[in-house]
Amino acid sequence: MFAVLAVPGLAGLRGLRGSAELPPGHTAGLAASVRAVGTTLRRWRGHLPALQVLVSFFLINEVLVTIQFFIVIVMSSRFGVGVEGLLWLALLYHLVAIPSTVAFGTLADRWGAKPTVLVTCAVLAGAILLLAFGRADWVPAAAVVLLGLVFASIQAVFRSLYASLVPPAQAAEMFGFNAVAGRLSAALGPLIFGIAIAVFGSNTWALCLLFLPLAAGAWLLAAADLTGSGANRPASGLSLGSHSRETHQ
């Protein structure tokens, strides 16, 4: 499935690569790369909007990865869903997630990335509430539908927003920071959630704990000043492909 779904994306990347031009004073080697990263970190104020978006992504992605790790345990222990039921829920998730990712991407082009992410965070909060306090038979399906609506959408719109804030000459370096943030959130989120279950003896309050990074990430994104970056303007070409075309022009 991954290979089949990757084909349209790979086909769409054709022609996006422009002529490679190294920045003035570029020198190859690990030492030069380390110095460049150090310079970027020392001048973090010049990249403040991008760093705010990056930290916001770290916090919200921590919630997403934690749910991904523990959703099977929650579904089986709280709602008694068996293996067959879990497979049906997984199918339902993919049926919802594929079109919703495209839909929210289109919405981000019209509304802007920031309000779109904030809306998806509200939907994600609703899914967490259902998982934490729901008891009815319909709750697992409803929670999975909500997660399918926003899980991939949040990540896709975040990457697009981050791409619009990254200087083209530092794209590889800045997306390296993005990769590190994703790995850290994938490690810390499940660890904290597991500790919370051990302490509280219930996944209800562990799920409620997820509201803290979710709210902090949403607040940080809402507070970020993206004026003049083009990231908030509707139909601003938020996709990574359109950003690359503008850069080459």
Per domain, the residue ranges of the chain are 47-248
Answer with the residue of higher pLDDT: 237 or 20. 20
Question: Given this model, what pLDDT does residue 113 score?
Answer: 87
Distance, CA of 75 to CA of 98 (rounded, Å): 22
Count the Cβ atoms, other than its own, within 10 Å of residue 219: 14
Distance, CA of 122 to CA of 154 (rounded, Å): 11
Handedness of CA 84, 100, 230, 237 (dihedral sign): positive
Distance, CA of 134 to CA of 151 (rounded, Å): 20
Question: Given this model, what pLDDT does residue 216 score?
Answer: 94
CA 199 remoteness from chain centre? 28
Question: Given this model, what pLDDT does residue 23 score?
Answer: 58
Choosing among 1.20.1250.20, 1.10.10.2840, 1.10.1740.10, 3.40.50.10300, the CATH entry for 47-248 is 1.20.1250.20
User: How do residues 51-109 score in pLDDT, each as one tens digit?
Assistant: 888 888 889 988 998 998 899 989 998 898 999 999 999 999 999 999 999 999 888 88
Contacts of 70 (CB under 8 A, 6+ apart): 190, 193, 203
Question: Given this model, what pLDDT does residue 111 score?
Answer: 86
Question: Given this model, what pLDDT does residue 92 score?
Answer: 95
Question: Given this model, what pLDDT does residue 235 score?
Answer: 37
Q: Is the pLDDT of residue 19 over 60?
A: no
User: How do residues 162-219 score in pLDDT, each as one tens digit?
Assistant: 888 777 766 667 777 777 777 777 788 888 888 888 888 888 888 999 999 999 999 9
Average pLDDT, the chain: 79
